[in-house]
Amino acid sequence: MKKVVIILPTYNESGNIDKVITLLEEDIFPKIKNHDMNILVADDNSPDGTADEVRNLMKKWKNIDLNLGEKKGLGAAYVRGMTYAVEKMGADIMFEMDADGQHDPQKITQFLQKIDEGNDFVIGTRYSNGGSVPSNWPIQRKAFSIVANLLVRTIFARFSIHDWTGGYRALKKEVFLKEKKELENFNGYIFQISFLHKVVRDKFKVAEVPFLMTDRTLGKSKIAPLGYIFDVLFYVITARIKELATGSFGKFLVVGGTGFVIQVVIYQILVNATKLPLGIDTVLSAQMAIFSNYNLNNLWTFKERKATNFGQYVLKMAGFFGTSNVGVIVIQSGIVQLGEILYGRNYPLVYFVIGTGVLMVWNFGTYSLVIWKKKK
Ligand SMILES: Nc1nc2c(ncn2[C@@H]2O[C@H](COP(=O)(O)OP(=O)(O)O)[C@@H](O)[C@H]2O)c(=O)[nH]1
Ligand SMILES: [Mg+2]
């Protein structure tokens, strides 16, 4: 039987923690027969006596544990709590859940079912069919919450996940162990977005469970809205830029940029040292650039698919030269030659830059639409 640990992070939740734990122990756990259910409270030495309340509950139920630490923020409390759950309690599956009653515990069985079906990370969502933010929130707070999530989804361009910021989740311990090191940099509420972002990046299987979030009845939210918005924007934008720069478009620019520099230097030498037509200078200089592009692509951009022996290397290179030269001869050299015919040898660099610009658009279009097109 798999061991499940529900982690409840607390900072000044006396009154709430008692209610949540009692509800879990009396109403929810007895209905779950196929998992070994446990609770861990990750408290940051709350001055209101949250920990004492938990110690009292521990006398009544033996499946509760308490992990205390210094207050460094929600993310730090989760990393500490999850480490404890795995190492000291032997957890196979962990839940993230607010201790203030905002996360409907009736949904726990649905989360577990998704995990049992083979998902690695299950998120509670308030923004898809059947989910909702608290109905009594004022309209501007609802709007803010919806817009913020939409913004994250848009910047990441990952629309299949509806709720990036929520804190009601279930995950296999393997997911936490894989991401733990990186998560140590995210102490505050931003932990939730960055954790999910890494989970998606590493291609873990993610599923969603819609739920109706209710409002707090006791105590107040610990989130500082302005600082949080800033953290979210900063994280999402920088993470996305990094992703794009190290992704295929960034590599395309670096490889193409190197090829451009090589070609323009050789082209200039040929223009000045020979009387060949500019179109011919273009085609000749392109051959060195194509050679460089081929090797950079082979060793870097598509290194997972690189040629494995010399025969294959030559064969692939011949194919690359052939297809690249179609664009070079028809588009790049054609435009340069047209320039020479219309305006003479006065502006060789201008013709070259225009020809190369049009060629780039052509190349990226054919690469992404035809050669390396994404599979559905
Ligand atoms: N241990 C710990 N728990 C925290 C901290 N900040 C928030 N929490 C807990 O995390 C949960 C969610 O926080 P809450 O203030 O309700 O955030 P909100 O629901 O987004 O308004 C609650 O159970 C809080 O007690 C923290 O710094 N340390
Ligand atoms: Mg809350």
pLDDT in tens, 147-183: 889 999 999 989 999 999 999 999 999 999 999 999 9
The list of the chain residues with pLDDT below 70 reads 367-376
Residue carrying the six token digits 């997911």: 175
Of all ligands present, the nearest one to the C-alpha of 16 is 1
Nearest residue (by CA) to ligand 1, atom 18, is 221
Residue carrying the six token digits 């910021």: 165
In the three-class reduction of DSSP (H, G, I as helix; E, B as strand; rest coil), residue 281 is classed as helix
Q: Return the pLDDT at 148.
A: 86
Question: Cβ distance 40 to 84 under 8 Å?
Answer: yes
- DSSP sequence for 143-204: HHHHHHHHHHHHHHT-TT---SS---EEEEHHHHHHHHHHHTT--STTHHHHHHHHHHHTT-
Of all ligands present, the nearest one to the C-alpha of 222 is 1
Ligand 2 is an ion; its neighbours by CB within 5 Å are 98, 100, 102
Domain ranges within the chain, ordered by starting residue: 2-245, 248-371
- Smallest Cα–Cα separation from 242: which of 188, 182, 170? 182
Distance 220 CA to ligand 1 centre (A): 9
19 lines ligand 1 (CB under 6 A): no
Distance 370 CA to ligand 1 centre (A): 49
Q: Return the pLDDT at 360.
A: 84
Question: Cβ distance 19 to 107 under 8 Å?
Answer: no
Question: What is the residue type of 176?
Answer: F
9 lines ligand 1 (CB under 6 A): yes
Model-level pTM? 0.78
Q: Return the pLDDT at 367.
A: 66
- What's the pLDDT tens digit per position in 223-234? 888 888 889 999
CATH code, 2-245? 3.90.550.10
Distance 34 CA to ligand 1 centre (A): 30
96 lines ligand 1 (CB under 6 A): no
Q: The tokens of 245 are what? A: 């720069």
13 lines ligand 1 (CB under 6 A): yes
Question: Cβ distance 3 to 36 under 8 Å?
Answer: yes
Which of 11, 168, 221 has most ligand 1 atoms within 8 Å of CB, for mutation?
11
| Rounded Cα–Cα distance for residues 34 and 321 (Å) | 61
| Rounded Cα–Cα distance for residues 23 and 17 (Å) | 10
Nearest residue (by CA) to ligand 1, atom 11, is 98
- What's the pLDDT tens digit per position in 68-127? 999 999 999 999 999 999 999 999 999 999 999 999 999 999 999 999 999 999 999 999
Count Cβ atoms within 10 A of the Cβ of residue 320 and give its class: 0-12 exposed, 13-18 middle, 19 or more buried.
middle
User: 93 - beta bridge partners?
Assistant: 4, 172
